[in-house]
Amino acid sequence: MNQTELIRFGTGRQLTEIDYLSELLSYQTIFQPIKSVNQLIEQVSQTIDAINQGFLPAQLSTLEVSDSMILDVQRYVVDKFPSQPAKGNALWGKLSESLEAVDFLVRHLRDALIEYFSMYGYVSTPFIQDLSTYLAGKPVLELMAGHGYLSAGLRSLNPDQVIIATDSQLWREQPDITLDQPVTAVENMTGIAALEKYGQEVAVIIMSWAPDTSTADWELLQVIRKNYSVKKMLVIGEYQGATNSKVFWQQAKLKPVLATHHHTFDLIDEQVYEVE
């Protein structure tokens, strides 16, 4: 998927120096003759470049140095030194160390996206296209919108659709949290206040990447069940994992949806659920 096919969410950060990316690209020359490893590096590089320039990135495959990539490197070494095992072993030693470094970096892409762009849940162009189709133009209220990537993508894809993004921004009080502004308009209010103000005006309520450090998500679900039960609710997160409270996962009735273009690329298995 080239950049002309990606959804533009805004101007992007336009960062000129991204240490994570510089470190990753330092291995590109080393693995230039090995297509599979270079493609892995390029996939991550294109993802960061896209977000930095204001585009929602392409879908990601699982980010890791796979067994087949290791075999590709071993074949390269053997082909280069078929009858010189000492040189082959020396080259393999260097390349294997570099492979470990590449594997570590690509597995930690999410950390880089959080650090540089405050993108916690991975919001890709294919996923937003699927979500927009699923929503079918219905008015949407996003709770806990964070920096607003999801709402920004929906707004860009369908400017006439009512997309209301809200967030209490309590996360700004935590240490080492970026103070960068959201990428789209996000109203500063609690989830309860957002429901009171907008709950009757929308057809769908979305909650993405609720923190696992409070039970605010469970409190919201109880209010939605009591006062907005006719609304459709979507939650995006990792079941009994990195997002949401334990009581929420225990009490929510879940139906997985939109799995085609929203699946894990790392150890965090974030999914989309319809919630009752």
pLDDT, average across residues 227-232:
94
Q: Do 206 and 242 fall within a single domain?
A: yes
pLDDT at 95: 97
Worst-scoring range by mean pLDDT, 69-73, 120-124, 171-175, 200-204?
171-175
Helix, strand, coil % over all residues of the chain, rounded to 5: 45, 15, 40
Tell how strand 232-238 and strand 140-143 pair up.
Answer: unpaired
What pLDDT, on a 0 to 100 scale, did the predictor assign at position 171?
A: 55
pLDDT at 146: 92
Same domain, 67 and 43: yes
Enclosing domain of residue 101: 3-117
109 and 208, same domain (yes or no): no
| 146 plus 241 within the same structural domain | yes
CA–CA distance from 256 to each of 73, 233, 263 (Å)?
39, 12, 11
Q: Are 5 and 125 a contacting pair, CB within 8 Å?
A: yes
Q: Is 120 exposed, middle or buried (0-12, 13-18, 19+ CB in 10 A)?
A: buried
User: Do 29 and 134 have their domain in common?
Assistant: no
260 band by pLDDT with thresholds 50, 70 and 90: confident
- In this prediction, residues 66-92 reach a mean pLDDT of 96
SS3 of residue 258 by DSSP: coil
Task: Give phi and psi for 205, each to the nearest 5.
Answer: -115, 125
Q: Are residues 164 and 108 in the same domain?
A: no
Give the residue from 266, 269, 270, 268 showing the smallest Cα distance to 104.
266
Question: Does 139 share its domain with 248?
Answer: yes
pLDDT, tens digit (0-9, with 9 covering 90-100), for 90-112:
999 999 999 999 999 999 999 99
Taking residues 136-153, what's their average pLDDT?
97
Same structural domain for residues 138 and 247? yes
For residue 171, give the DSSP letter: G
Same-domain pairing of 202 and 98 = no
Q: Average pLDDT for residues 181-207, to the nearest whole number? A: 96
Asked if residue 262 has pLDDT above 90, the reply is no
Q: Which residues are CB-contacts of 4 (< 8 A; sequence separation ≥ 6)?
A: none
DSSP class of residue 57 equals -
pLDDT tens, 54-68? Answer: 999 999 999 999 999
In this predicted structure, what is the pLDDT of residue 180? 76
Number of domains observed in the structure of the chain? 2
Q: pLDDT tier at 172 (50, 70, 90 boundaries)?
A: low
| Average pLDDT of the residues of the chain | 94
Residue 173 has pLDDT above 80, yes or no: no
pLDDT score of 217 more than 70 = yes
Residue 202 confidence (pLDDT) = 98
From the number of C-beta atoms within 10 Å of its C-beta (0-12, 13-18, 19+), residue 49 rates as middle
pLDDT of residue 47 exceeding 90: yes
Of the residues 88, 117, 146, which one is the last residue of a structural domain? Answer: 117
Q: Which of 100, 117, 134 lies at the terminal end of a domain, its last residue?
A: 117
Count of other CB atoms within 10 angstroms of residue 87 = 12
User: Where residue 174 falls among pLDDT bands split at 50, 70, 90?
Assistant: low
Residue 16: C-alpha distances to residues 13, 22, 54, 102 (Å): 9, 11, 14, 22
